[in-house]
């Protein structure tokens, strides 16, 4: 991809442990940037013209025949249609197995009592403006998340391998509603919380 052909716009920042939602038109490109390194971003896609069509981890893993979704792969919908294509990925470690962290995640896995920011809540809060409810949310595509599976099938979440400036560039194949976070789970981000940046390119 020749980045010189892209018309750049303002780089926006998602504050640590927060999220955002916005429209990405067909043919536009979204660059998701890890500005400081070792920070995950949960990404959701919905068809802007029919919100019942949404990102599907199952369909994506089926059709791409891999659990390592990276450059050259597409992100598929629950209706078996391509929603976006990954044009570039400077890190190459992304996860499509695990669900967005939630209040229950921190209670069950971290034994945390009381309120804790979560990707599920941040996605819910921001996508509400588009009429999308929490029960409508699929598994997110976890950009920069480092998940490994051993020979017995056991899953482990390791610190991200992304370094400052790593990015994923994807192109919308239909008009999309995007939900994004700067992930709130300690294990997913190597024990610290940092911002995520993004820009929309024509």
Pairing relationship of beta strands 94-95 and 19-24 according to DSSP bridges: unpaired
Range of the domain at 50: 18-201
Supply the pTM of this predicted model. 0.94
For 101-108, what is the mean pLDDT? 94
pLDDT band at 7 (very low <50, low <70, confident <90, very high): low
pLDDT at 144 over 80: yes
- Residue 101, in any domain of the structure: yes
Condensed to tens digits (0 to 9), the pLDDT of residues 172-200 reads: 999 999 999 999 999 999 999 999 999 99
pLDDT at 106 over 90: yes
Of 11, 87, 81, 83, the closest CA to residue 48 belongs to 83
- Residue 5, in any domain of the structure: no
- Residue 71, in any domain of the structure: yes
Long-range pairs, 8-13, Cβ under 8 A, ≥24 = 8/199, 8/201, 9/199, 9/200, 9/201, 9/202, 10/199, 11/197, 11/198, 11/199, 12/197, 12/198, 12/199, 13/195, 13/196, 13/197
Mean of per-residue pLDDT scores for the chain: 95
Condensed to tens digits (0 to 9), the pLDDT of residues 127-140 reads: 999 999 999 999 99
Give the C-alpha separation, 122 to 116, whole Å.
11
The predicted structure's pLDDT at residue 121: 98
- Residue 12, in any domain of the structure: no
- Residue 6, in any domain of the structure: no
- Residue 83, in any domain of the structure: yes
Calculate ∠ Cα 57-118-134, nearest 5°: 60
- Residue 3, in any domain of the structure: no
- Residue 13, in any domain of the structure: no
When divided into structural domains, the chain yields a total of: 1
């Amino acid at each position: 991809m020749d980045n010189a052909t892209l018309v750049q716009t303002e780089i926006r920042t998602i504050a640590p442990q927060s999220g955002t939602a916005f429209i990405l038109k067909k043919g536009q490109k979204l660059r998701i940037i890890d500005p400081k390194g070792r920070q995950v971003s949960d990404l959701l896609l919905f068809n802007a013209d029919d919100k019942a069509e949404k990102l599907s981890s199952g369909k994506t893993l089926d059709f791409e025949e891999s659990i390592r979704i990276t450059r050259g792969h597409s992100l598929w919908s629950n209706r078996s249609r391509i929603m976006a294509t990954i044009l570039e990925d400077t890190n190459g470690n992304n996860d499509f197995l695990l669900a967005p962290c939630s209040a229950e995640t921190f209670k069950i896995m971290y034994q945390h009592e009381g309120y804790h920011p979560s990707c599920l809540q941040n996605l819910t809060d921001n996508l509400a403006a588009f009429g999308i409810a929490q029960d409508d949310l699929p598994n997110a595509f976890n950009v920069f998340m480092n998940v490994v599976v051993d020979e017995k099938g056991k899953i482990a979440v390791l610190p991200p391998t992304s370094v400052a400036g790593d990015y994923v560039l994807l192109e919308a194949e239909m008009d999309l509603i995007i939900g994004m976070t700067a992930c709130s789970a300690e294990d997913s981000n190597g024990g610290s919380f940092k911002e995520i940046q993004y820009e929309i390119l024509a």
